[in-house]
């Protein structure tokens, strides 16, 4: 393994070992507390532009396989792990994590104190960093980092979104027989706007009884409204995705037009944030974000606590309560996790109810969306 040198914007300079792709990369460093599912995390498009620090110390031990991909690639700048296991052992494994990272140009960093890094991020917050297998001089790395664009200045959804529309046909994965379930008969049709959508979100929408057409992020809103008014589609889903939602100004304007037409809509993560902004309530950045598979969220209607998967750095403001009912609350920091807009067939959640692998307590949310869309369709 080659040496790799790391410089954080708070001045910390570290040396570690490299696996995966080589070179010099700049991105935002965050930490993820999930105990399993590293391939799903790395292939989640919402991590575009970021270095993922895994708090789970052993990574690579189960290899990788095609079935566990959450998208068609991997868009993170790199991953940071305590121990990388080159010798993988799992009956589903098809290749090593190292080869996977090289294939998608993702840097791998190991033999580093990830507990220390996590504490730094918890105290100082998520921040920009640079990692290089070519440059060892601290001052040179600092200069490159200072002259590089920040993650909140880059529109990553153009990179991760589908380039053309398609129909998604698979349902959720059945681990008992190691294959995807046959989707049920569709009772309504929706369009999923792809800002970096995870495959298992689409699987859950299909399994809920919806025909799902995925469209790119540069969609024509007038065409979408026309299709809704003609009865060709019955609702719209706004997907998860990477980066700062405030810079997506053209998307805000399009969503405003969908809101005005009272089209049934459901958003997850970035979609949740975009709905808030489009209603006139800008998001704010959390200190170190929520990234992991163990976040307790309280359903405000049932008062049940659901363990959820999370991946976001931004959150909706408290004053959105003026126009929306808060449906879910994060019990770690009391931030808003779910909203139902007043006098509109629109709701959203900040967490990931599809969670694969991970907790399934929030999977009912997909059925709630399907019920909403079907009810609205039948009332027309």
The C-alpha atoms of residue 6 and residue 8 are separated, in whole angstroms, by 7
Partners of 120 in the β-ladder = none
* Active-site residue identified among 168, 272, 279, 352: 352
From 98, 211, 269, 295, active-site residue: 269
Enumerate helices (H) and strands (E) in the chain, giving the number of each: 10, 21
354 catalytic per annotation:
yes
The reply to whether 352 belongs to the active site is: yes
Question: Distances in Å between the alpha carbon of 53 and those of 81, 109, 135, 354?
Answer: 6, 9, 21, 22
Q: Which two tokens stand for residue 149?
A: 């664009």
Provide the CA 319 distance to its chain's centre, in angstroms: 24
Spell out the residues 6+ positions from residue 274 whose beta carbon is closer than 8 angstroms to its own. 195, 238, 245, 248, 251, 252, 255, 267
Q: Would you say 320 and 334 are in contact if contact means Cβ atoms under 8 Å apart?
A: no
Phi, psi at 12, each rounded to 5°? -75, 130
What residues pair up with 58 in beta bridges, in sequence order?
Answer: 83
Which SS3 state, helix, strand or coil, does residue 105 take? coil
Contact between 283 and 245 (Cβ < 8 Å): yes
Q: Where are the alpha helices (DSSP H) in 10-110?
A: 38-42, 97-103
Which residues carry out catalysis?
Answer: 269, 352, 354
């Amino acid at each position: 393994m080659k040496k790799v040198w790391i410089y954080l914007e708070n001045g910390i300079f570290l040396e570690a070992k490299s696996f995966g792709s080589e070179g010099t990369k700049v991105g935002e460093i965050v930490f993820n507390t999930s105990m399993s599912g590293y391939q799903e995390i790395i292939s989640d498009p919402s991590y575009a532009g970021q270095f993922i620090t895994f708090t789970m110390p052993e990574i690579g031990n189960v290899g990788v396989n095609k079935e566990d991909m959450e998208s068609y690639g991997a868009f993170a700048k790199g991953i940071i792990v305590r121990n990388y296991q080159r010798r993988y052992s799992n009956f589903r494994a098809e290749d090593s994590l190292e080869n996977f990272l090289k294939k998608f140009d993702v840097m791998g960093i190991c033999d580093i104190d990830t507990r220390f890094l996590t504490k730094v991020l918890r105290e100082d917050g998520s921040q920009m960093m640079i990692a290089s297998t070519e440059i060892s001089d601290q001052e040179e790395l600092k200069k490159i980092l200072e002259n590089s664009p920040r993650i909140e200045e880059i529109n990553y959804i153009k990179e991760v979104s589908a380039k053309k529309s398609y129909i998604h046909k698979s349902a959720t994965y059945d681990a008992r027989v190691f294959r995807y379930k046959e989707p049920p008969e569709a009772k309504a049709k929706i369009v999923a706007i792809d800002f970096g959508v995870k495959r298992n979100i689409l699987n859950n929408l299909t399994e809920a009884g919806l025909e799902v057409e995925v469209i790119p992020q540069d969609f024509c809103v007038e065409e979408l409204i026309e299709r809704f008014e003609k009865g060709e589609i019955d609702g719209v889903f706004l997907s998860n995705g990477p980066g700062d939602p405030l810079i997506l100004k053209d998307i805000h304007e399009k969503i405003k037009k969908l809101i005005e037409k009272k089209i049934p809509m459901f958003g997850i993560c970035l979609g949740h944030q975009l709905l808030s902004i489009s209603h006139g309530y800008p998001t704010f950045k959390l200190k170190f974000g929520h990234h992991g598979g163990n976040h307790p969220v309280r359903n405000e209607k049932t008062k049940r606590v659901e363990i959820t998967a999370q991946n976001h750095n931004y959150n909706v403001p408290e004053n959105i309560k003026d126009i929306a009912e808060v449906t879910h609350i994060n019990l770690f920091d009391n931030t808003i996790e779910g909203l139902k807009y007043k006098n509109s067939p629109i709701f959203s959640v900040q967490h990931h109810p599809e969670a694969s692998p991970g907790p399934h307590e929030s999977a009912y949310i997909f059925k709630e969306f399907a019920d909403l869309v079907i009810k609205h369709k039948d009332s027309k």
